[in-house]
């Protein structure tokens, strides 16, 4: 299972003491479970300040025993205009990811960096970017890059939501294989991808035990859909789901919902970061919960062949007659 270890908040001193005690006990136990850290941040257009804030959370997570740290979409920055968003972007070989590679190597920790503003393949001619989810191992190597497949083009005037991601972002070419990490096989998505269950199902079929959706949900859509979508993806795939989130006011034109979440394969919410401030959620990962859930309710064994779901019979009488032969 995922056991909640702590979240920064009003009881942080007490939780820190408990966490330290648990860590000391775990060090004495050869079979201790791996720990994941799910971070909640408030990015701004100030890349240096964002890096500093994220570095503090990563360092604290490692001190508390985390072997993998999850940062949200836009961990590098959230721009206030289209032009600013594009001008601040970098390549995968740029200084921002170089800093995180050094951080991972120094601290010997795996990093999930979801929602990096990567300059696109035709940057010099079309000035568009990828929204990229980068996995870095504890040696500082980039071991996987997933580019966001589904772009957030939504106009909800009654909710105050107006975003057109496709105006400056290139959709990714495809889904990437789950990554074997110290906490299990992690399937990669980003934010709006959460709304497309086929992506999660494909990752589960390719071995994912944990799905992650680093996000920057708007306040309106987050309040309506965030938790129910994350729980649905967990229940459908019988995977753990972890979702690091942006929270609070990034600049005068944008705010995010927060509520970083950890959900187990049964759909139980095991940790919620709240909607007010940055923080750190630590969870212990027992992959036995995945196998036990799938064994007790073998959904995959009950699934019909793919062609069954690709067509719908118009005439129920014809279907009934066919089934009699």
Q: Which amino acids are annotated catalytic?
A: 73, 148, 191
155 has which bridge partners? 162
Within 13 Å, how many C-alpha atoms sit on residue 257's CB side?
Answer: 22
110 has which bridge partners? 68
Residue pair 204/178 in contact by the 8 Å Cβ criterion: no
What is the distance between the alpha carbons of residues 30 and 136, in angstroms, rounded to a whole number? 26
What is the distance between the alpha carbons of residues 91 and 83, in angstroms, rounded to a whole number? 17
Cα angle: 189, vertex 193, 196; to 5 degrees: 125
Structure tokens, 296: 């007790």
- Is 46 in a helix, a strand, or coil? coil
| Distance in angstroms between the alpha carbons of the first and the last residue of the chain | 47
Structure tokens, 209: 């035990």
Structure tokens, 212: 């992650």
Residue 136, C-beta contacts closer than 8 angstroms, at least 6 positions apart: 97, 100, 101, 104, 110, 111, 113, 142, 143
What is the distance between the alpha carbons of residues 196 and 199, in angstroms, rounded to a whole number? 6
Other C-beta atoms within 10 Å of 212: how many?
27
Site of tokens 């989810």: 133
What is the distance between the alpha carbons of residues 17 and 173, in angstroms, rounded to a whole number? 46
Phi, psi of 37, deg, nearest 5: -115, 125
The secondary structure of the chain in percent helix, strand, coil, rounded to multiples of 5, reads 35, 30, 35
């Amino acid at each position: 299972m995922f056991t909640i270890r702590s979240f920064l908040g009003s009881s942080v001193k007490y939780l820190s003491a408990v966490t330290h005690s648990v860590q000391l006990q775990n060090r004495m136990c050869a079979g201790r479970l791996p720990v994941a850290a799910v971070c909640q941040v408030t990015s701004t257009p100030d890349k240096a300040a964002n890096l500093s804030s994220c570095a503090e959370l990563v360092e604290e997570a490692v001190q508390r025993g985390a072997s993998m740290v999850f940062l949200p979409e836009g961990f590098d920055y959230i721009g206030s205009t289209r032009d600013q968003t594009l001008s601040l972007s970098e390549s995968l070989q740029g200084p921002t990811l170089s800093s995180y590679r050094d951080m991972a190597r120094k601290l010997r920790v795996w990093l999930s960096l979801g929602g990096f503003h990567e300059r696109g393949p035709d940057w010099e001619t079309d000035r568009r970017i990828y929204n990229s989810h980068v996995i870095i191992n504890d040696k500082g190597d980039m071991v996987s890059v997933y580019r966001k497949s589904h772009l957030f083009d939504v106009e909800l005037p009654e909710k105050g939501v107006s975003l057109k991601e496709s105006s400056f972002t290139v959709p990714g070419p495809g889904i990437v294989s789950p990554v074997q990490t110290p906490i299990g096989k992690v399937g990669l998505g980003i934010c709006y991808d959460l709304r497309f269950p086929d992506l999660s199902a494909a990752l589960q079929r390719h071995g994912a035990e944990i799905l992650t959706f680093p996000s920057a949900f708007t306040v309106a859509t987050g309040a309506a859909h965030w938790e129910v979508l994350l729980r649905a993806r967990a229940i459908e795939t019988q995977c753990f789901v972890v979702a690091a989130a942006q929270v609070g006011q990034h600049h005068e034109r944008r705010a995010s919902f927060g509520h970083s979440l950890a959900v187990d394969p049964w759909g139980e919410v095991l940790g919620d970061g709240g909607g007010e401030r940055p923080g750190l959620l630590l969870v212990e990962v027992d992959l036995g919960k995945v196998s036990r859930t799938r064994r007790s309710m073998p959904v995959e064994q009950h699934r019909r062949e793919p062609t069954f779901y690709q067509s719908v019979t118009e005439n129920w009488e014809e279907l009934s007659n066919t089934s009699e032969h």
